[in-house]
Structure 1
């Protein structure tokens, strides 16, 4: 069974502002493609640790990455709402920040 997406969060001014700042910060370039020396336009801002699982991380800059549509779709298994192998790689890259956040809470 899939989780419900919190649409009110994605309509909130704080999220809209953070999303635009992230895209601008990343020069509207997909950060996953960039790892492989490709340039693609980023239109999505992805929660590395999914918002539905960790809403308290929803606006944390370290938990966000600008992605093109193709890479964004590669982060999620849309059938079971879990991170894919690629999504887990990004979570591993941010594991230190994740652990530090919850250690200090």
Structure 2
């Protein structure tokens, strides 16, 4: 369902996603949940003129679990740094050490 870039773009621009995203941010108190697990606190300053600092991440990815795309229990707030780290974006090694999506 969300395999092409166009499908993902349409989903992430949808009103349903925008509403669900806000619910997840509010539920998580606008705090990065991974930073919180590590004993740090990273929050968003809610300034609409600044670049986005927090993402709402799908714990189980939408391309493998499209039925969970709008489920709050499948979402968590992450700062951009933690989100990029989770997906190994911008890392020198693209090889994943552990792929829990298969479990």
Match of 2:38 among 36, 39, 61: 36
- The CA deviation at 1:28 is 0.4
The structure richer in helix per residue is 1
Aligned to 1:9, the other structure's residue is in SS state helix
Unpaired runs of at least 5, structure 2:
45-53
* Residue 58 of structure 2: aligned partner: 47
Gaps in structure 1 of 5+ consecutive residues: 96-105
1:73 pairs with one of 84, 87, 91: 84
CA contact (8 A) 1:74 1:86 kept: no
Higher-Rg structure is 2
Displacement after TM superposition at 1:86 (Å)? 7.7
> 1:75·1:85 contact (CA, 8 Å) conserved in 2?
no
Compared CA separation, residues 56 and 31, structure 1 to 2 (3 A)? same
Count matched residues.
Answer: 86
Q: Distance in 2 between matches of 1:53 and 1:45?
A: 17
Taking the aligned partners of 1:87 and 1:67, their CA distance within structure 2 comes to 19
Sort the Cα spacing of 1:44 and 1:85 in 2 relative to 1 into closer, same or farther, 3 A: farther
Aligned to 2:57, what secondary structure does the other structure show?
strand
